[in-house]
């Protein structure tokens, strides 16, 4: 039986949308805090314009595509074309004018959208506006693939907090270090280089003061070409970080400390770090969770990050902080590089309390596995949270 016209049209839409999503990957490192978006303008079976969202304050994908098309074909050729956009065009004035108006002005016949924008300032308004202008709009084409490009932005819009991804390097018996803390290097060079990509796409690379004191890491992006470095951030409740720490290398560093009055010496230290090291001290209340009276409220940390337009948080921390984020139900994804080594007694990835029953275990789902050099990269995420976000962009 031959496919129906509707089935053929959907196949065509998926083909072009897949190309648009691939194009959006080229903007992976540059758009924050905006989402990574691409737009293709298709006329008579060929692309006449394409574009990606640029750095903040510059053109969005639709405007880029329209400019590209007008440089290739007469402006009237856009009339009756089809726009393929990986996210619903914006409908509000922000750092740039509404993209939906630029799209409508081209008088396309159809606009195909991968996912609706859950931003309360958009939330379907652009779709309605285009439909009222006589444009056929189809949404939900490869929505999950588009979501994978922007989990942080969608999370921030839907749940008011960033998407947190914990990167862990471990042995086959799930040890992240020897008993004495030695961990360099469990995984091979290829896996370590691959991990740089995940730093580069994040807005913040977050760690704990224990890791800073033990390893003195830079936490910056290396081995990947990127026009911007993510912010480095440290959970440092007692404000004991060394002013000579390697991560103070010119880029911004955020320090999350306990919300209390600083001593005179600490005030002087803060002033030096702010003036000389591009640091920011952020006071966070202590957690009221049972047994966590001396820990910062990690939900308040995440709320602060969301308020400052942080989309993706890349956590590279020790067992205690990993466990704290997991127990606070704030860990959305685990990026695990597993080396073909067996260490024996050593440090676990999560310093968790023993469970009484196996049914109490935190359940995640694997969604990707990839051989990287001699190691394997395993990706798992919170399926319930993922489905909630997918529902929000598909309504």
Is 326 labelled as part of a ligand binding site? no
Give the domain CATH number at 314: 3.40.430.10
Total domains in the chain come to 2
Residue where a domain stops, chosen among 94, 127, 153: 153
pLDDT at 35 (0 to 100): 92
Give the domain CATH number at 95: 3.40.140.10
Q: Do 250 and 224 touch, CB atoms closer than 8 A?
A: no
Question: Does pLDDT of 290 surpass 80?
Answer: no
Taking only the tens place, the pLDDT of each residue in 23-55 is: 999 999 988 898 999 999 999 889 999 999 888
pLDDT at 123 (0 to 100): 80
Is 219 labelled as part of a ligand binding site? yes
Structure tokens at 249: 């290398």
Question: Does pLDDT of 154 surpass 60?
Answer: yes
Cis preceding-peptide flag for 173 (omega within 30 of 0) = no
The C-alpha atoms of residue 175 and residue 349 are separated, in whole angstroms, by 6
Q: Do 275 and 164 touch, CB atoms closer than 8 A?
A: no
The C-alpha atoms of residue 268 and residue 262 are separated, in whole angstroms, by 9
pLDDT at 92 (0 to 100): 66
Same structural domain, 259 and 279: yes
Is 150 labelled as part of a ligand binding site? no
DSSP 4: P
What does the DSSP assignment read for 10-31?
A: HHHHHHHHHHHHHHHGGGTTT-
The C-alpha atoms of residue 199 and residue 385 are separated, in whole angstroms, by 22
Same structural domain, 138 and 172: no
Same structural domain, 21 and 129: yes
| Average pLDDT of span 259-266 | 96
Q: What are phi and psi of 47, to 5 degrees?
A: -80, 125
Is 20 labelled as part of a ligand binding site? no
Structure tokens at 99: 């993209």
Same structural domain, 101 and 219: no
Same structural domain, 169 and 106: no
Taking only the tens place, the pLDDT of each residue in 227-256 is: 899 999 999 999 999 999 999 999 999 999
pLDDT category of residue 138 using cuts at 50, 70 and 90: very high
Same structural domain, 138 and 201: no
Domain assignment of residue 17, given as a range = 5-153
Structure tokens at 37: 């978006």
Same structural domain, 129 and 33: yes
- Please give the C-alpha separations between residue 252 and each of 85, 156, 249, 266, 335, in angstroms, as whole numbers: 33, 22, 9, 19, 25
Residue where a domain stops, chosen among 153, 177, 201: 153
Same structural domain, 141 and 280: no
Same structural domain, 167 and 146: no
Task: Give the residue numbers annotated as catalytic, written as ranges.
Answer: 62
Same structural domain, 292 and 382: yes
Is 319 labelled as part of a ligand binding site? yes
pLDDT at 156 (0 to 100): 95
Is 197 labelled as part of a ligand binding site? no
Taking only the tens place, the pLDDT of each residue in 88-136 is: 998 766 666 788 888 998 899 999 999 998 888 888 888 999 999 999 9
* CA angle centred on 242, ends 241 and 247, rounded to 5°: 85
Q: Where are the beta strands (DSSP E) in 175-327?
A: 175-178, 204-208, 231-235, 253-258, 279-284, 312-315
| Average pLDDT of span 306-321 | 96
Question: Does pLDDT of 147 surpass 90?
Answer: yes
Q: Do 156 and 31 touch, CB atoms closer than 8 A?
A: no
Same structural domain, 36 and 176: no
Is 99 labelled as part of a ligand binding site? yes
Residue where a domain stops, chosen among 101, 124, 153: 153
Same structural domain, 217 and 292: yes
| Average pLDDT of span 205-211 | 96
Structure tokens at 58: 């510059």
* Composition of the chain by helix, strand, coil, percent to 5: 35, 25, 45
pLDDT category of residue 322 using cuts at 50, 70 and 90: very high
| Average pLDDT of span 198-213 | 96
Is 90 labelled as part of a ligand binding site? yes
């Amino acid at each position: 039986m031959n496919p129906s016209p509707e089935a053929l049209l959907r196949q065509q839409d998926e083909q072009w949308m897949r190309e648009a999503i691939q194009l959006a990957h080229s903007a992976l490192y540059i758009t924050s805090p905006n989402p990574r978006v691409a737009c293709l303008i298709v006329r008579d079976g060929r692309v006449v314009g394409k574009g990606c969202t640029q750095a903040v304050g510059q053109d969005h994908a639709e405007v880029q595509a329209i400019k590209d098309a007008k440089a290739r074909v007469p402006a009237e050729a856009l009339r009756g074309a089809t726009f393929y956009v990986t996210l619903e065009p914006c409908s509000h004035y922000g750092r740039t004018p509404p993209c939906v108006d630029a799209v409508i002005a081209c008088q396309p016949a159809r606009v195909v959208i991968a996912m609706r924008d859950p931003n309360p300032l958009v939330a379907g308004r652009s779709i309605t506006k285009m439909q009222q202008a006589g444009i056929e709009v189809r949404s939900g084409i490869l929505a999950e693939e588009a979501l994978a490009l922007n989990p942080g932005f969608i999370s921030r819009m839907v749940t008011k907090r960033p998407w947190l991804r914990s990167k862990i390097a471990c042995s086959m018996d799930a040890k992240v270090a020897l008993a004495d803390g030695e961990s360099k290097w469990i995984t091979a060079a290829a896996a370590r280089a691959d991990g740089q990509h995940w730093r580069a796409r994040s807005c913040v690379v977050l760690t704990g003061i224990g890791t800073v004191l033990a390893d003195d890491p830079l936490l910056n992006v290396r081995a990947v070409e990127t026009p911007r470095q993510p912010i480095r951030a440290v959970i440092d409740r007692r404000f004991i970080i060394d002013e000579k720490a390697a991560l103070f290398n010119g880029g911004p560093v955020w320090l999350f400390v306990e919300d209390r009055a600083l001593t005179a010496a600490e005030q002087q230290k803060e002033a030096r770090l702010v003036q000389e090291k591009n640091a920011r001290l952020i006071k966070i209340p202590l957690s009221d969770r049972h047994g966590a009276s001396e820990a910062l409220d990690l939900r308040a940390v995440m709320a602060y990050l969301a308020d400052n337009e942080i989309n993706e948080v890349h956590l590279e921390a020790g067992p205690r902080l990993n466990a704290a984020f997991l127990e606070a139900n704030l860990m959305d994804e685990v990026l695990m590089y597993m080396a073909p080594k067996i260490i024996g007694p050593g440090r676990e990835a999560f310093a968790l309390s023993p469970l009484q029953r196996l049914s109490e275990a935190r359940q995640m789902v694997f969604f990707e596995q990839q051989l990287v050099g001699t190691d394997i990269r395993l990706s798992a995420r919170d399926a319930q949270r993922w489905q909630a976000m997918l529902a929000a962009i598909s309504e």
